[in-house]
Structure formats: structure tokens, C-alpha cells
Amino acid sequence: MYKVWTLARTTLREMLREKIFMVAVLIAVALLALSFLLGALSFAEQRKILADFGFMAIQISGLGISLFAGAYLLAKEIEKQTCLLILSRPVSRAQFILGKLFGVLALNTLLMSALGVVLYLLLGLWKEPKLFPAFFEIGLSLWCESAVILCLVIFFSLVVRPVLALGAGFMVFLLGHWLGDLAFFAEKSQEDMFVQAVKVLHWVTPNFYRMNWKSAYFLENGIPFNNILWMLAHMTGWALLAILLTNFFFRRKDIV
């Protein structure tokens, strides 16, 4: 386990020392500032607008890091052959994948937590501690979403070029969020093909629609425990599947 930790620490160090992290921080801060301004400009429901835009800023930051870091995480190591020295040590390919993955997850956790703290302060939630669990659960759902996208993009990057993996990851994100709407339209259209296609999509896409809690007015309504359990199980399943597939393909890959 220490080897995985060593690789994760090195990956985190790389990300923090590279420009990608600074770009992600700048974008996130700009979005948070925008949400604060929009909230201040509106007459009613200032906190809702601030919360909606704030969570969107956190979501975009997490998604951005997952897509860009995930697409190039293994591809860069293989192309630049930096992984050769690591794999010549007593490190298995599975440990290498996990180390790299945990490094990016740690970065996402750091960034999303920091932005979460800023949003918490902007919303003045310390005055209403009973609202903190719901706030935390929304943050957790966004983190889980970014983690699943990261795992999937890493897998995609092993089978297609990084830029295509990035695009595929973004498509999964969009489809995952559109699943509910697609099901609704399929039902209304009564086209058998459409209905069947949406059923297939339900099986091959993580259901981000069902855990899209950030648009709910969370300050009044908490998130039911069953929903949280469902989200954790669903996201863990998808992440594990992606990691297993990544390991399966990476173990067989010739690093030429």
C-alpha cells in the first residue's frame, strides 16, 4: 500500500507544480466570484442563486481536472516512457494505476474542499449548522461524479487517443445528466426504438441525473438517506468497473 501512497503523493506533487492546477483554481475562483455577483444582483432568492452557481463552479472545476488530468495521466506516462523506471521497481501495473488515480483524486478533493469552504462562508452557513449535512452531501455527490468521470476517462485513454478520451468522458457526463430527460421524452414519443435506446443508455451510462442535487433548494430540504446510499453504491460500482477495465487493458499493453 505504501507504494501506491508514494505514487499518489508524487502525482499530486506533479499536478500542484504544473500549470493545470493553477488554471483550474483560477477558473473556479472566477466562477465563484461570478456566482457571488449574480447572487448580489438578484432581488429574491439571493442565496439560492449563489448556491446554484457556487455548486456549479465546484462541479466544473472537478470535472475539468478529471477530464484533462485523466485523459493524459497514463497516456503521457506511456508516450514519454516515464513509467518504465517506475515499473522496473517492485511495483505492479495495478499499483501504478491506483497510485496515479489516487493522486488526481487527492487533487480534486483538495480543490473541491477549498471551494466548498469558500462557498460555505459566502452562504453564511455557520449561522445555520443544521444545514451543513445537506451541504456536505451535495459536495460529496459532486466529488463522486468527478471521481467516476476520472476513472472512466483513464480507461478511455488506454483504448483511444487522449483527446478522444477527453471527449468521450464529457459525453458520458452529458448523457449521465440527460438520462432523466431522455427517459421522459422517450415515454412521451412512444417510439419503440427511442425507448429501447434510452433503456440501453441507462445500462451503459452512470446515472448522474438521479444525484443531481445541486439544483434542489438544499437549504430547506435535506437529501434522503436512501438516495445517498444509492449514490454511493452506484458510483462505487462504476468506479470499480472502470478501474478493473483499466487494469485489464494496461496489464496487456506493450509499452513500446
Partner 1 sequence: MAVLSIEKLNKTFKGGLFEKDRHVLRDVSFALPEGQTSGFVGSNGAGKTTTIKCIFDFIRPDSGIIHFFGKPLTSESKTRVGYLPERPYLYEFLTGMEFLRLHWNLCYGASLKDFHERAHEALKKVDLFEAKDRRLRTYSKGMLQRIGIAQAILTRPDLLILDEPMSGLDPDGRAMVKDILREEQKRGVSLFFSSHLLQDMEELCSHLVVINRGQILYDGVLNSFMAEYQSLEKAFSVLKGKEEGRV
Smallest gap from Cβ 3 to partner 1, in A, equals: 6
The nearest distance, CB 88 to partner 1, in angstroms, is 4
Q: For residue 163, give the C-alpha cell.
A: 483527446
Q: Is 74 in the site for partner 1 (CB under 8 A)?
A: no
Q: Does 20 bind partner 1 (CB under 8 A)?
A: no
Asked if 47 and 139 touch (Cβ cutoff 8 Å), the reply is no
Q: By CB under 8 A, tell whether 190 contacts partner 1.
A: no
Binding mask 123-142 toward partner 1 (x if CB under 8 A, else -) reads --------------------
Question: How far, CA to CA in Å, does 69 sit from each of 2, 77, 159, 194, 204?
Answer: 23, 12, 16, 34, 23
In the bound state with partner 1, the residue whose beta carbon lies nearer, of 10 and 109, is 10
Q: How many CB atoms lie within 10 A of CB 210?
A: 16
187 near partner 1 (CB under 8 A): no
- CB atoms < 10 A from the CB of 124, how many? 10
Task: Give the residue with the Cβ less far from partner 1, 9 or 47.
Answer: 9
Tell me how far, at minimum, the Cβ of 99 lies from partner 1, in Å.
10
Q: SS3 helix, strand, coil % of the chain, rounded to 5?
A: 85, 0, 15
Under rule CB under 8 A, residue 14 binds partner 1: yes
The Cα-based distances of 151 to 6, 31, 125, 225 in angstroms read 19, 25, 32, 25
Q: Please report whether residue 90 would count as binding partner 1 according to CB under 8 A.
A: yes
Give the 3-state DSSP-derived string for 73-112, with helices as H, strands as E and coil as C.
Answer: HHHHHHHHCCHHHHHCCCCCHHHHHHHHHHHHHHHHHHHH
Among the listed residues 44, 85, 200, 204, the single contact to partner 1 using CB under 8 A: 85
Q: Least distance to partner 1 from the beta carbon of 251, Å?
A: 9
Binding residues for partner 1, per CB under 8 A?
A: 2-3, 6-7, 10, 13-14, 17-18, 80-82, 84-91, 252, 254-256
